[in-house]
Amino acid sequence: MIDPRGPRFAAAITTVVLAVVLITGNPWVLAVQAVVFAIGAGWGPAASPYGLLYARLVRPRLGPPGELEDAAPPRFAQAVGLLFAIVGLVGFVAGATVLAYIAVGAALAAAFLNAAFGLCLGCEVYLAYRRIVSARSSNNTPPEVSP
Amino acid sequence: MIEGVVVVAAVLVVATIFGLWHRRRDGAVRTMGDGGDERPALVGADLGVELGARATLVQFSSAFCQPCRAVRGRLAHVADQVDGVRHVEIDAERNLDLVRRLGIVKTPTTLVLDGAGRIVARASGVPSLDDVHAALPAT
């Protein structure tokens, strides 16, 4: 269980970093952000550099959190962020700048919505995505509840 | 450089509009009016549990869904407080057939069923306690 304000703080930093990537077109900044995403996805948001920054600098100035949250949703979000960052890096390296801008722009939108509105974009789109994907793969998911 | 600034500005403007629009409608409970939803009534077997005598609050969740936790607490509280109301949480990803049949597109989505399993209200996002109480069918 984690302090939900940690991932939100991390999303704010991520928003700034991704905006810098788009404005400067510097793939190295994106590479650093990709590493941050990877740590957050692999070891949880509290272990990521932005999570540590939150724990060191921000949390001591705030009161204790009103409630704790599961770490799984932000971890998933970091994994999706990593995916977009990798696509962006491939775009920059391969000279496909438009692809890079789309991928980083999408990640920026998700990070900003999380930071500014606490909105979980994955919640909005993931189920729709699963419905489409499983319809294509001939609907082979067994129902959890048997009739 | 200029393109980058334009992309950043465009993304932030579109995301802000979406965020404001989403905030306004998140958690809104839509009631289905007389006779309930046009979809066939659900039976206990669809959900793997007995229906509540008065109402069943069916919550569709997914593992990574952050607001699902808040909805769980809220609906469980209502089920606890009100006689004949049950709360059932369903993993949407593992019940895609049911999800399709009911037209669920995102998590969390909550359906309010009456005692006969008809859908009388639905809400996506985090509904307020008052709205959930108001959506319960009369006894």
SS3 B103: coil
- The number of distinct structural domains making up chain A is 1
Is A127 within 8 Å of B66 when comparing Cβ atoms?
Answer: no
pLDDT band at A112 (very low <50, low <70, confident <90, very high): very high
Phi-psi region of A89 (alpha: psi -120 to 50; beta: other; left: phi over 0): alpha
A vs B, Cβ pairs < 8 A, gives: 125
Whole-number Å distance between alpha carbons of B128 and B39: 25
| pLDDT given for residue B17 in this prediction | 96
User: Across the strands, what pairs with B122?
Assistant: B30, B111
In tens, the pLDDT along B51-100 reads 999 999 999 998 878 889 899 999 999 999 999 999 999 999 899 989 99
Statement: residue B128 has pLDDT above 50: yes
User: Residue B85 belongs to what domain range?
Assistant: 29-135
Share of chain A above pLDDT 90, in %: 59
Phi, psi at residue A25, to the nearest 5°?
65, 25
In a domain, A140, yes or no: no
Question: Which residues from chain B sit within 8 angstroms of residue A68, using beta carbons?
Answer: none
Is B48 within 8 Å of A145 when comparing Cβ atoms?
Answer: yes
State the average pLDDT over residues A66-80: 84
| pLDDT given for residue A29 in this prediction | 97
- The number of distinct structural domains making up chain B is 1
Is A101 within 8 Å of B100 when comparing Cβ atoms?
Answer: no
Question: Which residues from chain A sit within 8 angstroms of residue B93, using beta carbons?
Answer: 127, 130, 141
The label of the residue with tokens 């008052």 reads B130
Statement: residue A126 has pLDDT above 90: no
In a domain, A143, yes or no: no
Query: Please, what is the average pLDDT of chain B?
Result: 89
| pLDDT given for residue A138 in this prediction | 47
Statement: residue A16 has pLDDT above 90: yes
| pLDDT given for residue B36 in this prediction | 55
CATH code of residue B107? 3.40.30.10
In a domain, B82, yes or no: yes
In a domain, B119, yes or no: yes
User: Residue A113 belongs to what domain range?
Assistant: 5-119
In a domain, B46, yes or no: yes
In a domain, B73, yes or no: yes
DSSP state of B82: S
In tens, the pLDDT along A30-50 reads 999 999 999 999 998 889 999
Mutation for A interface: B3, B8, B68, B94, most A CBs within 10 A: B8
| pLDDT given for residue A143 in this prediction | 46
ipTM over 0.95: no
Q: Which residue has the higher pLDDT, B128 or A72?
A: B128
Identify whether B108 is preceded by a cis peptide bond (ω within 30 of 0).
yes
Statement: residue B7 has pLDDT above 60: yes
Statement: residue A96 has pLDDT above 80: yes
Statement: residue A139 has pLDDT above 60: no
- DSSP string over B15-61: HHHHHHHHHHHTTPEEE--TT--SSPPP-HHHHTSPPPSSEEEEEEE
State the average pLDDT over residues A129-141: 65
State the average pLDDT over residues B22-42: 78
In a domain, A128, yes or no: no
Give the lowest-confidence range in A37-41, A76-80, A131-135, B14-18.
A131-135
Tell which B residues from 51 to 90 touch A, by Cβ distance under 8 Å.
60, 62-69, 90
Is B19 within 8 Å of A25 when comparing Cβ atoms?
Answer: no
pLDDT band at A136 (very low <50, low <70, confident <90, very high): low
Q: Which residue has the higher pLDDT, B112 or A125?
A: B112
| pLDDT given for residue A76 in this prediction | 86
In a domain, B15, yes or no: no
| pLDDT given for residue B89 in this prediction | 95
Q: Which residue has the higher pLDDT, B20 or B49?
A: B20
In a domain, B112, yes or no: yes
User: Across the strands, what pairs with A128?
Assistant: none
Q: Which residue among B20, B69, B105 sits closest to A69, beta carbon to beta carbon?
A: B69
In a domain, B43, yes or no: yes
